[in-house]
Copies of this chain bind each other. A is one copy, B any other.
Amino acid sequence: MLVRKSAKDRKVEIIEKALRLADELGPDRLTTGAVAQAVGVTQPGIFRHFATKQALWLAVAEHISELLRAAWHDALRPEQTPMQNIAALVSAQLRQIEQTPALPAILFSRELSTEYPGLRQVFASRLAEYQVLLTEELAAARAAGSLRADLVTADGVVLLTSLVQGLAIRWSLGARGFSLPDEGARLLAVQLALFAADNGGAR
């Protein structure tokens, strides 16, 4: 209305509000009108900053993508053991989801991916990166002798990512009735214990 901001500021403001609204309303109900209202601009005002709604979604996707990348790379520490790094990666991911609850809905929404081509690619390549990071750490754990010999590394990675995804879905569909990072840490510990070489155990 009265306030008039620079295009740059507005753009990030729009992206952030869109992300918040995607959670509150659900990604499909994220209309340009709703975003405009949240930002405090008339509906066509959005189109000053994003030529199409798809462009807006793409910007949101890239914003998310960047958040995730940063969180993962923050989580990794050379001084940690590979197992600790794995736990840190999982924890970082779950905390990011908790902080940005629209994430699972956006990442897993086939609706969005089909309606706005380009999103899928952004997310797919980013999630592939996550798998690479996990694979590296798991391979390091194996090199350190902390893994059961009969566990194929790639299989371990799939089990871990499935754990994260399954948990995220249960959380986001199930009214978020539990603490995602807490439950995740607990179950991850269980899974990692199963992965661990039976050193101190029997024998």
Interface residues of A (CB under 8 A from B): 25-29, 104-105, 108-111, 113-115, 120, 124, 148, 150-152, 155, 158-159, 161-167, 169-170, 172-174, 186-187, 190-191, 193-195, 198, 201-203
Contacts and interface: CB of A to CB of B under 8 A. Distances in A.
A190 B195 CA distance: 10
Contact of A151 (B124, B148, B161, B194): B194
Interface of A is mostly: helix
19 contacts: A26-B110, A27-B110, A29-B114, A29-B115, A109-B109, A109-B110, A110-B173, A111-B111, A120-B173, A148-B194, A150-B193, A151-B194, A158-B166, A159-B187, A159-B190, A161-B166, A165-B165, A166-B166, A194-B194
Given A162-B167, A166-B163, A194-B151, A108 B173 contact: yes
Contacts of A148: 194
